[in-house]
Amino acid sequence: MTGWLYRALVRPLLFRLDPEFSHDLTLTALGIAGPTLARLIHRTADPRLSLTAAGLRFPTPVGLAAGFDKSARALWAWPALGFSFIEVGTVTARRQPGNPRPRIFRLPEDLALINRLGFNSPGAVAMARRLAALRREPRRYPIPLAVNIGRSRAASNDEAIDDYLYSFEHLQPHADFVVVNVSSPNTPGLRQLQMRDAIVPLLEALRARNLALGEKPIFVKIAPDLTDAELEDVVEAIGHRVHGIVATNTTLRRDDLKSPARDEPGGLSGRPLQARAVAIVGRLHRLTEGRLPIIGVGGIFSAGDAYAMMKAGASLVELYTGFVYRGAALPRAIARGLLACLDRDGFKTVADAVGVASRSTVSSGPPR
């Protein structure tokens, strides 16, 4: 399906429906069609787009962000649509329903969404069974799969370590990498876990358990609303304890929005988050001196958006709101557009462009 067809015909129909019902309907359709799509669609990405991050090989830099396929309902559809990796979840230790409905709101005038889902999750045990069944499939799952884990609503921050460890122990064996979500605005108190006195013991506990299980990459997902001082503290605190960073989660800011739903409580995603997310990725790249791979998330609607995020310092990018507004053709369109960006600027591979805008000396092309 072309992007034009989606925007002209499919999106208007979906946008007539309740946002969460529309989302569930889409996942159901993709879950049914996914295995067939996976067999029918065989496209090899251009090798110039392939890169390695945290020891994992990615066919292109374009992935699907956590929150879209929370319960791993449409796994075979994502590689068929051109995604090169996926995050499922956020998954909590125990099954929980999340916040009361309605809890997703479209802001079409702003190309944005607000959600206050609150980690609706099947629970770690159920998700582990689902992913174990995937790994038993005769066909190997073709792209890296991450599991995003978060604190249960019923657990206090004092109980957070045990809560995260429970999820981690069940899910790490079935994931290619794990993302630790300490930044959702929709679970009360969760963002306090980003602070030094909380995040250090949490990551130390996860690191020890990770080594015991057989080490796999751990990423930590941070909020876009951190101050520069808080961002420096987070980077210093995570230190050698993680293998990468996901930047960023949704924001609580409501700057210059036009849509009637702008005052709904919850996390804002989409176009209004783009500039802030790129700035944070650049700041993180400089603070870490490029040592940690960064997954850039926030307001990516085009190849130009993805390229700006990568030049700021992201090795990989993820889509969510852009996928809602632009449709299933977007992952491949971004990949094609990235090739055009590389050709324009004289880079041989996409990895060569990572961080060029955040270095002390920057040129319009590759280093001479």
Instruction: Give the Cα separation of 104 and 68 in Å (integer).
Output: 12
Please state, as a whole number, how many other Cβ atoms lie within 10 Å of the Cβ of residue 113: 24
Strands 112-115 and 62-64: unpaired
First-residue to last-residue Cα distance in the chain: 41
To the nearest 10°, the Cα dihedral for 327, 329, 332, 336?
-110
Say which residues have a Cβ less than 8 Å from residue 198's Cβ, sequence separation at least 6. 157, 160, 182, 192
Strands 244-247 and 267-270: unpaired
DSSP class per residue in 110-170 = GTEEEE-----B--HHHHHHHHHHHHTSSSPP-S-EEEEE---TTS-GGGHHHHHHHHHHH
Show which residues are catalytic.
184
Q: Which candidate, 334, 248, 251, places its Cα nearest to that of 284?
A: 248
